[in-house]
């Protein structure tokens, strides 16, 4: 909030209605709510109010909101601006001579540059001078001083300097480069300085030296050349011994059909005496010499072999000293620990990025015996269920796209593995090959592709279900509609002008999951009455289970988990509690460590089945089963669109329990009872912004979202939250698959085209 002051704030009306109320973002015209009241009995009869804008701005106009009474108190005021707070240092920029109606606003032209704005009203009568207003809004932009721009650079006070000298940042060339950049406009990234220390902002030198394997002569940007890993790499070796890691393979002259001929594609890898593991090299096309992938099935005593092969492939493709990150895994095995040693290799985790369905890890791979090091990335797909295939292919397609987003940095082949190296591995490689074929030729041949894979490694794409999944992935690939944020408005306008949006929604509905043999505790006699809408119920795979003991309940609640863009089970969507299920909502919050509730019902719901689950007054405790709940505070966000209630709950039978704080977020009159949509999209953005700030303070427990039926409104808010997170992380958006994604656990979400448009 900007700092404001007014005449004689220590007495009378000026004290009761302080200057700060006119810059609190609240335009409510009731004086007791949010209005300032400059007041004076001085002989000069001048009442003034002043605000510090905290920086220099170019002003264009000033909007003043009047109170609900006494319109004459805004008659005849002036506005002045300057860079010093003293009144005699300010220059008049605007004058208003008319009357402003009560509860209305007036816009006064005020074209000036400065940091301080002063309102001044003078009268000539013998009565005390009053001035009332409830909010002051300044229209303008940050003023950029061009005095520090280089003489050769152009400048204007909106965009700043066209260019800055070495070590200085745009727009005003005041600020020095951040720790990781240097040079003109700070556009050049620092090299690999030791211990990630900053480089010189002017010339980029690393004063503390370079990280291992980087040259100081080039500001630590060039990886130091290392001799070939295998001294025998240039000579074909027919005899394998235990004194060195040796790989030998030959390419077939034609596509073999007999089982024994499959060994043409086998890489025999021997690490020590008595340990041999086979790795198959997969050819993309029978007429091509290009080999894309190496596949292996992992068991404990072959991990070392895989690290050897990954290191060997990087070494074989390591030319001219250029550092390559080219060994990439797809895996369904869990990487344990941050640092581990396999034989002569020390593997250290450098970074880890987690998404809902996959993890990207970067490792340094060091051969202690040869004193050589490489870096590599592992792409770990975690979204494959224990049995069968994923319900939708899009998570794997998004994973596949992320893998190939690093193609420019990769030099060697992909290392792809799963448990046996045929089922999931074959499925991924088939999708990879067919995706390229679709792009290049506009058509695909799944049968030929899988047949070719099986001539090179038996049982690739192992089951009928996996074979069908390849087709499903290619169908969904046709629906990928990724839009850059910068193009979103234009694309949306084009969709709305035609029938494409409706057609896209119809295709989306056609891809709803069809579930068979699903276990559903919701339909058990003891649980049927806990469902408000019997068609909107969870299956047991996606339902959060309750564990807090309660004599009148079991583990059931009508709720489902929904993954976010980066977190699994980021949301829990549920119906608003019924009279008999209020306790279950508190059990849900406690058992799944949720600290955030988004309420999408009206607070005045009269349906007896939409029960209240928290006190309406502060410092009053209500008991719900084993929990005591109190309302600590109720506030509204700055624009008064969202009510935030701070609640504290504790187990009543646990002594010394200080209680757990949660916050409930509710839209204020922005979503009429009979409308499928809120009044405008910005209210959802404001709601989710408030939720995100609270989540950042209190960990990443699941966000509980509820509405009357647990679908119609909750789905829209959940989809909006997912899309906003996607946009922030990737600077792109895919509405089609976001909706498909949240429908995975509750197909009844986003059932109207108008919701999809929103």
Reported as a single tens digit per residue, the pLDDT across 127-182 is 777 888 999 999 998 888 888 888 777 888 888 888 888 999 988 888 899 888 99
In a domain, 594, yes or no: yes
Mean pLDDT of 355-372: 81
| Rg for the chain, CA atoms, rounded | 33
423-441 vs 394-404: helix axis angle to the nearest 10? 70
In this structure, the answer to whether residues 364 and 387 fall within a common structural domain is yes
Last residue of a domain, one of 143, 161, 190: 143
**Helix segments in 597-705, DSSP class H:** 681-697
Q: What is the reported pTM?
A: 0.59
- pLDDT score at 245: 25
Mean pLDDT of 605-625: 80
- pLDDT score at 337: 52
pLDDT digits (tens, 9 = 90+) for 399-409: 988 888 877 66
Mean pLDDT of 711-716: 92
Higher pLDDT, 12 or 586: 586
Last residue of a domain, one of 194, 224, 254: 224
Tokens standing for residue 495:
């969709």
Place 115 in a pLDDT band, splitting at 50, 70 and 90: very high
> 145-159, 224-238, 240-254, 556-570 — which one is most confidently predicted on average?
556-570
446-456 vs 464-477: helix axis angle to the nearest 10? 130
Higher pLDDT, 325 or 237: 325
In a domain, 493, yes or no: no
Mean pLDDT of 691-715: 91
Mean pLDDT of 419-436: 87
In a domain, 136, yes or no: yes
Distance separating alpha carbons of residues 496 and 353, to the nearest angstrom: 36
**What range defines the domain where residue 433 resides?**
246-477
Going from the C-alpha of 79 to that of each of 62, 92, 120, the distances in angstroms are 9, 6, 6
- pLDDT score at 295: 53
In this structure, the answer to whether residues 297 and 251 fall within a common structural domain is yes
Residue 519, judged by CB atoms within 10 A of its CB (0-12, 13-18, 19+), counts as exposed
Residue 32 has pLDDT above 50, yes or no: yes
Number of structural domains the chain divides into:
4
Please answer whether residues 8 and 39 qualify as being in contact, where contact means their C-beta atoms are separated by less than 8 angstroms.
yes
In a domain, 503, yes or no: no
Q: Residue 404: which H helix or E strand, with range? A: helix 394-404
* Strand order from edge to edge, sheet including 571-575: 559-562, 571-575, 703-707, 596-599, 660-667, 642-651, 627-636, 621-624
- pLDDT score at 300: 43
Q: Give me the count of residues in the chain.
A: 758
Mean pLDDT of the chain: 79
pLDDT digits (tens, 9 = 90+) for 290-300: 445 445 444 44
Residue 50, judged by CB atoms within 10 A of its CB (0-12, 13-18, 19+), counts as buried
Distance separating alpha carbons of residues 111 and 98, to the nearest angstrom: 19
In this structure, the answer to whether residues 556 and 462 fall within a common structural domain is no
Going from the C-alpha of 259 to that of each of 240, 265, 285, 686, 732, the distances in angstroms are 24, 12, 20, 63, 47
- pLDDT score at 242: 26
Place 229 in a pLDDT band, splitting at 50, 70 and 90: very low
pLDDT digits (tens, 9 = 90+) for 546-597: 999 988 889 999 999 999 999 999 999 999 999 999 999 999 999 999 999 9
Which residues have a Cβ under 8 Å from the Cβ of 542 and sit 6 or more positions away? 560, 561, 744, 745, 746
Assign 727 to helix, strand or coil: helix
- pLDDT score at 478: 75
Last residue of a domain, one of 143, 163, 184: 143
**Lowest-pLDDT choice from 256-260, 323-327, 459-463:** 256-260
Active site residue 333: no
Distance separating alpha carbons of residues 375 and 156, to the nearest angstrom: 45
**Lowest-pLDDT choice from 30-39, 299-308, 325-334:** 325-334
Distance separating alpha carbons of residues 315 and 324, to the nearest angstrom: 9
- pLDDT score at 312: 55
- pLDDT score at 509: 83
Instruction: Single out the catalytic residue among 177, 220, 449, 707.
Output: 707
Distance separating alpha carbons of residues 141 and 124, to the nearest angstrom: 36
In this structure, the answer to whether residues 137 and 159 fall within a common structural domain is no
Distance separating alpha carbons of residues 112 and 634, to the nearest angstrom: 40
Please answer whether residues 120 and 45 qualify as being in contact, where contact means their C-beta atoms are separated by less than 8 angstroms.
no
- pLDDT score at 310: 57
Q: Residue 591: which H helix or E strand, with range? A: helix 582-591
- pLDDT score at 624: 92
**Lowest-pLDDT choice from 104-113, 455-464, 647-656, 683-692:** 647-656
In a domain, 619, yes or no: yes
Please answer whether residues 191 and 204 qualify as being in contact, where contact means their C-beta atoms are separated by less than 8 angstroms.
yes
Query: The domain spanning residue 671 has which CATH number?
Result: 3.90.190.10
Question: Which parts of 610-688 are beta strand (E)?
Answer: 621-624, 627-636, 642-651, 660-667
List for the chain the helix, strand, coil content (%; round to 5): 25, 25, 45
Mean pLDDT of 486-500: 81
In this structure, the answer to whether residues 259 and 216 fall within a common structural domain is no
Active site residue 149: no
In this structure, the answer to whether residues 165 and 19 fall within a common structural domain is no
In this structure, the answer to whether residues 102 and 129 fall within a common structural domain is yes
Distance separating alpha carbons of residues 291 and 285, to the nearest angstrom: 8
In a domain, 235, yes or no: no
Place 218 in a pLDDT band, splitting at 50, 70 and 90: confident
In this structure, the answer to whether residues 159 and 271 fall within a common structural domain is no
In this structure, the answer to whether residues 473 and 591 fall within a common structural domain is no
Residue 637 has pLDDT above 70, yes or no: yes
Provide the b/e sequence for 147-165 (b: ≥16 CB within 10 Å).
Answer: ebbeeebebebeebbbbbb
In a domain, 509, yes or no: no
**Could you check whether the bond before residue 90 is cis, i.e. omega within 30 degrees of 0?**
no
- pLDDT score at 122: 86
In this structure, the answer to whether residues 325 and 439 fall within a common structural domain is yes
Higher pLDDT, 123 or 269: 123
In a domain, 583, yes or no: yes
In this structure, the answer to whether residues 404 and 370 fall within a common structural domain is yes
In this structure, the answer to whether residues 104 and 162 fall within a common structural domain is no
- pLDDT score at 723: 92
Strand partners, 647: 631, 662
Distance separating alpha carbons of residues 360 and 355, to the nearest angstrom: 8
Distance separating alpha carbons of residues 366 and 342, to the nearest angstrom: 10
Instruction: Single out the catalytic residue among 418, 449, 614, 718.
Output: 418
Assign 80 to helix, strand or coil: strand
Please answer whether residues 347 and 296 qualify as being in contact, where contact means their C-beta atoms are separated by less than 8 angstroms.
no
Distance separating alpha carbons of residues 287 and 268, to the nearest angstrom: 24
Q: Which of 393, 394, 450, 384 is nearest to 418 (CA)?
A: 384
């Amino acid at each position: 909030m900007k700092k404001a002051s007014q005449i004689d704030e220590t007495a009378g009306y000026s004290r009761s209605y302080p200057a700060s109320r006119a810059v609190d973002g609240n335009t409510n015209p009731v004086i007791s709510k949010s209005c300032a009241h400059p007041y004076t009995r001085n002989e000069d009869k001048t009442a003034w109010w002043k605000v510090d804008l905290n920086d220099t701005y170019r002003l264009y106009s000033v909007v003043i909101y009047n109170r609900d009474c006494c319109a004459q108190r805004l008659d005849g005021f002036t506005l002045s601006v300057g860079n010093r707070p003293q009144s005699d240092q300010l220059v008049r920029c605007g004058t208003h001579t008319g009357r402003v109606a009560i509860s209305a606003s007036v816009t006064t032209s005020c074209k000036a540059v400065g940091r301080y704005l002063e309102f001044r009203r003078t009268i000539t009568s013998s009565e005390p001078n009053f001035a009332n207003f409830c909010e002051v809004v300044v229209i303008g932009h940050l003023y950029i001083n061009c005095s520090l721009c280089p003489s050769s650079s152009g400048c204007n006070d909106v965009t700043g300097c066209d260019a800055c000298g070495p070590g200085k940042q745009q727009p005003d060339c005041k600020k020095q480069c951040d720790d990781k950049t240097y040079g003109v406009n700070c556009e050049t990234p620092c090299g690999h300085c030791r211990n990630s220390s900053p480089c010189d902002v002017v010339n980029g030198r690393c004063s503390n030296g370079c990280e291992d394997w980087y040259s100081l002569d080039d500001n630590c940007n060039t990886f130091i050349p290392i001799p070939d890993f295998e001294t025998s790499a240039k000579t074909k070796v027919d005899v394998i011994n235990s004194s060195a890691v040796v790989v030998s393979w030959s390419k077939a002259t034609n596509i073999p059909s007999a089982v024994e001929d499959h060994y043409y594609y086998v890489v025999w890898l021997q690490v020590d005496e008595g340990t041999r593991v086979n790795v198959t090299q997969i050819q993309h096309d029978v007429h091509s010499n290009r080999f894309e992938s190496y596949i292996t099935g992992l068991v404990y005593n072959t991990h070392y072999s895989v690290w050897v092969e990954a290191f060997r492939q990087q070494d074989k493709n390591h030319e001219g000293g250029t550092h390559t990150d080219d060994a990439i895994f797809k895996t369904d095995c869990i990487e344990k620990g941050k640092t581990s040693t396999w034989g002569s290799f020390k593997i250290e985790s450098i970074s880890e990025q987690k998404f809902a369905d996959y993890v990207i890890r970067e490792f340094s791979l060091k051969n202690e015996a040869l004193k050589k090091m490489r870096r590599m990335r592992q792409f770990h797909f975690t979204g494959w269920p224990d049995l069968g295939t994923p319900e939708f292919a899009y998570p794997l397609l998004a994973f596949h796209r992320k893998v190939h987003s690093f193609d420019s940095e990769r030099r060697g082949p992909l290392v792809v593995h799963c448990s046996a190296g045929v089922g999931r591995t074959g499925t991924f490689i088939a999708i990879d090959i067919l995706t390229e074929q679709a792009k290049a030729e506009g058509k695909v041949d799944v049968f030929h592709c899988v047949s070719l894979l099986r001539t090179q490694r038996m049982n690739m794409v192992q089951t009928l279900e996996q074979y069908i999944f390849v087709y499903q992935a290619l169908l969904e690939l046709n629906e990928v509609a990724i839009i850059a944020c910068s193009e979103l408005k234009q694309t949306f306008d084009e969709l709305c002008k035609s029938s494409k949006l409706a057609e896209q929604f119809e295709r989306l509905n056609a891809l709803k999951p069809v579930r068979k043999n699903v276990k559903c505790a919701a339909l058990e006699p003891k649980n049927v009455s806990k469902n408000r809408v019997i068609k909107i119920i969870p299956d047991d795979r996606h339902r959060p289970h309750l564990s807090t003991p309660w004599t009148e309940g079991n583990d059931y609640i009508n709720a489902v988990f929904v993954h976010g863009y980066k977190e699994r089970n980021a949301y829990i969507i549920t119906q608003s509690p019924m009279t008999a299920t209020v306790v279950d909502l508190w059990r849900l919050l406690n058992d799944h460590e949720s600290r955030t509730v988004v309420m999408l019902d009206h607070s005045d719901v009269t349906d007896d089945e939409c029960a209240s689950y928290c006190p309406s007054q502060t410092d009053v405790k209500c008991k719900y089963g084993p929990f005591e709940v109190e309302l600590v505070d109720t506030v509204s966000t700055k624009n008064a669109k969202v009510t935030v209630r701070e609640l504290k709950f504790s187990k009543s039978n646990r002594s010394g329990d200080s209680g757990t704080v949660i916050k409930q977020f509710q839209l204020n009159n922005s979503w009429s009872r009979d409308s499928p949509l809120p009044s405008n999209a910005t209210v959802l953005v404001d709601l989710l912004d408030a939720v995100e700030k609270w989540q950042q303070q209190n960990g990443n427990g699941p966000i509980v979202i509820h509405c009357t039926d647990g679908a119609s409104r909750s789905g829209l808010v959940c989809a909006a939250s997912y899309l906003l997170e996607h946009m922030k992380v990737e600077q792109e958006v895919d509405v089609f698959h976001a909706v498909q994604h949240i429908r995975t656990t509750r197909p009844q979400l986003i059932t109207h085209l108008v919701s999809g448009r929103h």
